[in-house]
């Protein structure tokens, strides 16, 4: 609404409107200035990430080929004959770099007692990408099985999965239950879920949640069918994407720009067609009925108290279904508790590894087709 023409008479009501408009313009200008400063800060954040984390130029020591010939890049720390091998499986849109703080903490312990294996899942990081139809929980479970068969043919194994990585472990339990007990002696599930992720509200109002539930499948389909268009759109909105990444990944308390940028960089390195291909499988997953084999192993369930992606209720439900498990809710942490609160997470992982190293292998639970 425009104000009076210059030189015209304005009554008290018009003056109030004009004053209000002036105040509004000042507020808009101030908001725009703050936003411009934040965007400028975002554009400088990568330098901070490089100072803390460095560029991800690690040369993998080995490559494991999947059943369909996809090369998975694997990094090994520690000898082949270590007492315990820990395999870290990262989450959706991330890379093995998300285990930065765990690698830093536990790599010095690599030796006769401990070996670490970290790998990039198919389509993520340095690993290859094949048929999008294979972007399923069953397939990444089979990929994990291949890493075990090729790299850890003997000895005790502990599996540590974050988000989609935890779902891969549950998929493995369904497809290879004989591994759990005799070989896999421990499982740590960090910020993961057995399913029902399509209804997660991400901490947003219900109206927005309903909109996102309707829109996300459409965006995923666009990413699969028109990846070039989706990628261009993604680059244009990179500053907005950074803000969303920070919101979805962290609790928001004391998160440095460098850390947020490091995570943003990992996500940005994942092609949009990979993101779109995996989304339907994650949104429609239900692994609630395949947890039986995990009853044969030591199980740690850990989640941030402010996780907006896989809220702590999902971890609490997992703990209910696995009454012998240990449940840890990390204070002031979001979906990436392993990076936001690494000291707390590593403390619990260290105790968990200790239990696994001394745990006697058990016979797997008997699984018979047709049982009711």
Examine the pLDDT at 43 and tell me if it is beyond 60.
no
How far apart are the C-alpha atoms of 5 and 11, rounded to whole Å? 13
**Cα distance between residue 23 and residue 37, in whole Å:** 21
If asked whether residues 75 and 30 sit together in one domain, one would say no
User: Does residue 161 belong to any structural domain of this protein?
Assistant: yes
Asked whether the predicted pLDDT for residue 135 surpasses 90, the reply is yes
Q: Are residues 82 and 26 in the same domain?
A: no
Average pLDDT of 190-213? 54
Q: How far apart are CA 50 and CA 68, in angstroms?
A: 35
Rounded average pLDDT over 162-175: 95
For residues 162 and 77, membership in a common domain is answered with yes
> Do 137 and 56 sit in the same domain of this protein?
yes
More confident residue, 32 or 104: 104
Q: Does residue 183 lie within any of the structural domains?
A: yes
- The Cα 204–Cα 208 span in angstroms is 6
Q: Are 154 and 145 spatial neighbours (Cβ–Cβ below 8 Å)?
A: no
Name the helix (H) or strand (E) containing 188.
strand 184-190
Provide the β-strand partners of residue 76: 117
Is 158 found in the same domain as 72?
A: yes
Q: State the chain's mean pLDDT as an integer.
A: 78
- Mean pLDDT of all residues in 158-179: 96
Q: pLDDT per residue over 206-250, tens digit each?
A: 333 333 444 445 555 555 566 565 555 555 445 555 566 676 788
- The tokens describing 46, both together, are 């990568």
The reply to whether 96 falls in a domain is yes
102, 134: one domain? yes
Mean pLDDT of 307-336: 93
Tell whether 55 and 183 lie within a shared domain: yes
Asked whether the predicted pLDDT for residue 255 surpasses 70, the reply is yes
Residue 370 lies in a domain: no
88 and 37 belong to one structural domain: no
User: Which has more pLDDT, 277 or 257?
Assistant: 277
- In this structure, the answer to whether residues 79 and 159 fall within a common structural domain is yes
Q: Are residues 68 and 184 in the same domain?
A: yes
Q: Is residue 86 a part of any domain in this protein?
A: yes
CATH code: domain of residue 94: 3.40.50.1820
Position 33 in a domain: yes
Residues 187 and 73 in one domain: yes
Is residue 77 domain-resident? Answer: yes
Report if residue 190 sits inside a domain.
yes
Task: Considering only CA atoms, give the Rg of the chain.
Answer: 24
Strand (E) or helix (H) holding 299: strand 298-304
34 and 113 assigned to the same domain:
no
* Rounded percentage of the chain residues whose pLDDT exceeds 70: 67
* Phi, psi dihedrals of residue 5, rounded to the nearest 5°: -65, 150
Residue 371 has pLDDT above 90, yes or no: no
Domain count, the chain: 2
Given a contact cutoff of 8 angstroms between Cβ atoms, the answer to whether 322 and 180 are in contact is no
* Residue range(s) defining the domain that contains residue 34: 14-43
């Amino acid at each position: 609404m425009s104000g009076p023409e210059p030189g015209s008479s304005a009554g008290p009501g018009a003056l109030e409107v004009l004053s209000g408009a002036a105040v509004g313009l000042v507020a808009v200008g101030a908001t725009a200035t703050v936003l411009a400063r934040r965007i400028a800060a975002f554009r400088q954040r990568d330098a901070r990430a490089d100072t803390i984390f460095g560029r991800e130029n690690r040369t993998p020591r080995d490559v494991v080929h999947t059943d369909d010939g996809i090369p998975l890049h694997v990094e090994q720390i520690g000898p082949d004959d270590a007492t315990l091998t820990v395999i870290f499986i990262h989450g959706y849109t991330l890379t093995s770099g998300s285990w930065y703080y765990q690698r830093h903490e536990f790599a010095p312990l690599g030796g006769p007692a401990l070996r670490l294996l970290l790998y990039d899942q198919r389509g993520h990081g340095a690993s290859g990408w094949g048929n999008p139809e294979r972007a399923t929980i069953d397939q990444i479970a089979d990929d994990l099985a291949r890493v075990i068969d090729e790299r850890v043919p003997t000895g005790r194994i502990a599996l540590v999965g974050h988000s989609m990585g935890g779902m891969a472990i549950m998929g493995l339990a369904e497809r290879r239950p004989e591994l759990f007990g005799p070989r896999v002696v421990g499982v740590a599930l960090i910020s993961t879920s057995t399913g029902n992720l399509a209804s997660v509200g991400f901490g947003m109002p219900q109206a927005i949640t309903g909109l996102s539930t309707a829109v996300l499948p459409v965006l995923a389909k666009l990413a699969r069918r028109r990846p070039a268009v989706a990628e261009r759109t993604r680059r244009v909105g990179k500053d907005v994407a950074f803000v969303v990444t920070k919101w979805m990944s962290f609790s928001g308390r004391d998160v440095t720009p460098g850390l947020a940028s490091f995570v943003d960089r990992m996500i940005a390195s994942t092609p949009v067609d990979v993101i779109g291909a995996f989304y339907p499988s994650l949104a429609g997953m239900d692994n609630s009925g395949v947890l039986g084999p995990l009853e044969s192993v030591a199980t740690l369930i850990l989640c941030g108290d402010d996780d907006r992606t896989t809220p702590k209720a999902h971890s609490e439900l997992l703990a209910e279904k696995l009454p012998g498990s240990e449940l840890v809710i990390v204070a002031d942490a979001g979906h990436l508790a392993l990076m936001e609160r690494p000291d707390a997470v590593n403390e619990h992982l260290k105790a968990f590894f200790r239990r696994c190293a001394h745990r006697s292998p058990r016979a797997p639970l008997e699984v018979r087709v047709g049982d009711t």
